[in-house]
Structure 1
Amino acid sequence: MRVECWGGIVAAMLIFSPVVAQVQTPGSGTLLGAASALPPPDGMGAEPVGDFPKLSLATLANLEYSGLGAASGPSRGPQPYFRFDTTMLVDVSDKLSFDGLFQFKARKPRPADDPNRDLYINQGAGRRVGGKMLELYARYDTWRVGKFVQNFGRAYYLLPGPFSADFIEEAEAGYEPTEMIGVEKLHVFGNEDHGWQQLSVSVFFVDRTFLHESLPYNEGIVHYRDGGVGNTHLPENVMVTYDVLNMPVGHGAQATFQASVIRYGKSYQAQRGEIWTTLGSDIAIPINGSVAATLEGRYSQLHLYVEAARRDNFEGFAGRARNYVSVSADYLAGPWVVALTTTQRWTTDRVLPIQNDAIYTATIGHDLSSAILGSLSVAQEHVGDRSGVYAGIRLTKTFTTCARCLTRGRAF
């Protein structure tokens, strides 16, 4: 059984959220990923694998011009911003492969004296950039070992629009479990009455190796005394995720589901370890078009997505919690897509008052020639007593070179 599941390799700019449109870009964190269909398991229509070894290389490049207009305090930009994600795959045999994701993006934190530093914390314009290996692991059959993003939640790359997942991506403020090293076991159930069903179990801890360093801006090596979620002496953080996966073809609407939980160990000087839980579902509804038109991308589709997540003992404090609810709707008509999203975030504490933060985005995108996607997005965000509007234009280009043309993506 061969299942290709990148476990979160990509996220930062979903222009198209349907999984079966032309070229697609995920939502935030990383760029390659949700674009490809899950390859069929052995005995279920898989094409002959041919000779080994096989090499695949795919790059998604992004050029953006964007900026922030703040209600009070300093604004940002507009400024240009360039980033790219490159996936590398070497298939040694039908069971053994080596996978990597090199990510070049903005990494330098906002200045501590910027009163608007918590607004659009994951948007890149005006920040120093650096490249590093976000993922580097070996897969053998249904096992993988190394550095990879665990299969927890999907909103950070399924939400449509370049800025929509600002609250969600990355592990410190959001719930994308990046920068983790560990081992994972994947089990695919034989019964497909309700879709492709899989269970993934992972144990891991924070990457404290040289793989965390980046250039030219260097994030440096993480130490145990730096603390942070998942930063434990041993790989004592445990994740269990259940997925039900479907892909719409022709007129039939299809839904996917995910339920997941992570138990994090207590990190340096933390009172408690965090507990993360999430539940999400999306439904793709083809409006018109035959099966052939669907496969060629010539069709109309409505895509709805909702995901809820919770972080108990947020930032290691007993009794503190952060809750998220994300909702999106996007309509695809041939080369055009229009999308609306919102994420509501609540932070609660035993002593401090409840803080409600929110982001709303609107995006219109068009599939241009030569595998180039263009989009215009506007986002309104408020965090605490700060608020601002972020707007930008993005162009996204895909480059692929491979002996076996398959862009790896998570299994939906």
Structure 2
Amino acid sequence: MKRLVPASVALLSAASTAAMAQEGGSSRFSAEFAIEIANDYTFDSDDPAAELSDTYVTIGAGLSFALAESTSINAGLVFEPVLDPADDRFFEDHGLYVEELFLSHDFGGAEVVLGKFNPAFGAAWDLAPGIYGADFAEDYEITEKIGVGINIPITAHGGEHTLSFAMFNADRSLLSNSLGRERGQTNLAAGGVSNTSSPESYSVTLSGNFGATGYNFGVQHQEGGQGDVADQTGVVLGLTHSFDTGSVPWEVLAEIAWFDKFDGTRNSARYYTLGAAVPVGRITLSGTYSVRDIDTAPTDRLATVTAEMDLADGLSGALAYRWGREDGVDSNTIGTLLVYEF
């Protein structure tokens, strides 16, 4: 299930708040938290073993400490299940891990980050609407890498834009493991793209907006690790737009991602995501349709519908239906989600 408030979003907000606080002479420390209680109930599947109920909690924390006016150290922590469910599960298999831990310095014309962070590439893994809208796009989200990143803000043609560049390799430090239920520490022998001995992989992304239209365009190259037959190369293009139709504003999203030698194999892969959201009174209704097409594998398809509502200040709830065809297996899932942000 997609986290509605990713740790990286909370982290950027906390870092910005800490920097402003330092400029104002107040506390150097800032934090943002999101607590989510969720249930995924798969009630009908071609695979009877997939019919189960999974109840769990996800806690994301973005922490930032301002060392100076333009310098901060930032951490993104996540507490969530670190294993997939094998049977009905009720608040089990949770682990705490460090998703990001980096030093940031703003030079005015550019921000430099150094440490463990999530390089920019694509946006549907974050912006696709609904509880399950990002399930396929999360496959190509780049997370938990060690390296250096540069973010350059640009103001042009009436819009705000950011050019991001990152060089990285997979995290194999103690931070790749988790406390509580252990997910295991990454090592070179595990293979996988970007799991190399030095920062040999990179991503370049340009994102921004022109009025009500947002966009992102990115390229990546991730070096193959041990056991991989090739290096992975990818391209992504995404658009969002808000339609002001009077009393009912619509928001739409479309993103396409293409990969050569996907995941270090000889396969090409293509991802397509379409989503839309519209408010109806206090409720926001949204739907997403996604396709995952990988050579030598059946084409996967995903359709979701979600209703979300603000219940109180910082508290929201959501109810969703998910239909998925994955590896030739059709499954139907009902999901509920309660989120508190502070």
Normalised by the size of structure 2, how large is the TM-score? 0.90
Is this contact kept in 2: 1:32–1:85, CA < 8 A? no
Aligned residue among 145, 149, 160 for 1:180: 145
Q: Which of 199, 215, 221 in structure 1 is aligned with 2:185?
A: 221
Q: What is the root-mean-square deviation in Å for CA atoms of aligned residues?
A: 2.8
| Deviation >4 Å, runs of 4+ | 30-39, 124-127
Partners of 1:13 and 1:85 in 2: CA distance: 9
Question: In the alignment, which residue of structure 2 is the partner of 1:153?
Answer: 122
- Show the 5 A alignment for 1:46-65: 49-51=23-25, 54-65=28-39
Structure with greater helix share of residues: 2
State the 1:164 CA deviation.
Answer: 1.6
The SS at the match of 1:92 is strand
Does 1:196 find its partner at 2:144?
A: no
Query: Aligned partners of 1:287, 1:307: CA distance in 2, in Å?
Result: 23
Classify 1:219/1:342 alpha carbon distance in 2 versus 1 (closer, same or farther; 3 Å). Answer: same
Matched, 1:237 2:201: yes
Question: How far apart are the structure 1 equivalents of 2:213 and 2:236?
Answer: 17
What SS class does the counterpart of residue 178 from structure 1 fall into? coil
Indicate yes or no: 2:214 matched with 1:256.
yes
Asked whether the equivalents of residues 287 and 304 of structure 2 are also in contact (C-alpha less than 8 Å), the reply is yes
Q: What is the distance in 1 between the residues matched to 2:329 and 2:120?
A: 32
Match in the other structure for 2:70? 95
Q: How many residues align?
A: 335
Does the CA-based 8 Å contact 1:301-1:333 persist in structure 2? no
**Matches of 1:328 and 1:64, distance apart in 2:** 22
Q: 1:34 to 1:376 in 2, by over 3 A?
A: farther
TM-score relative to the length of structure 1 = 0.75
2:91 and 2:268 map into 1 onto residues whose CA distance is 31
Gaps of 5+ in 1: 1-10, 15-24, 40-45, 115-123, 247-252, 290-299, 400-412
Q: How far apart are the structure 2 equivalents of 1:47 and 1:132?
A: 27
> Aligned partners of 1:283 and 1:36: how far apart in 2?
23
Query: What is the CA-CA distance between 1:288 and the residue it aligns to?
Result: 4.3
1:68 is aligned to 2:46: no
SS across alignment from 1:225 = helix
CA deviation vs aligned residue, 1:204-259 (integer Å, no higher than 9, x gap): 0000001111121111211101001210111000111111235xxxxxx6111111
**CA distance, structure 2, for counterparts of residue 109 and residue 377 of structure 1:** 20
Which has a greater percent of strand?
2
Q: Do the aligned partners of 1:91 and 1:97 also contact (CA within 8 Å) in 2?
A: yes
Deviation at 1:264, TM superposition (A): 1.0
Superposed CA offset, 1:306-345 (max 9, x none): 0011221013123x11110000000024632000101101
Corresponding residue of 1:4: none
Q: Displacement of 1:285 after TM fit?
A: 2.5
Q: Is the 8 A contact 1:13 1:161 kept in 2?
A: no
What letter corresponds to residue 156 of structure 1 in structure 2? W
Q: Say which of 311, 318, 332 aligns to 2:259.
A: 311
Contact 1:335/1:368 (8 A) holds in 2: no
Find out whether 1:325 has 2:272 as its counterpart.
yes
Look up the match of 2:80. 105
With over 3 angstroms needed to count, the CA separation of the structure-2 counterparts of 1:92 and 1:162, relative to structure 1, is: same
Letter in 1 for 2:249: Q
Unaligned runs of 5+ in 2: none
1:94-144: CA deviation from partner (whole Å, max 9, x where unpaired): 310111111011111455xx9xxxxxxxxx977611111101111011100
Highest relative contact order (Cα 8 Å, sep 6+), 1 or 2?
A: 1
Separation in 1 of the partners of 2:225 and 2:282?
Answer: 47
Q: Deviations over 1:347-366 (max 9, x none)?
A: 11xxx3x5210110000111
In structure 2, distance between residues paired with 1:51 and 1:335: 39
Cα distance, 1:287 vs structure 2: 4.1
Q: Give CA deviations for 1:273-327 in whole Å, capped at 9, x if unaligned.
A: 10121000101224448xxxxxxxxxx5311000011221013123x11110000
Identity of paired residues, percent?
A: 23
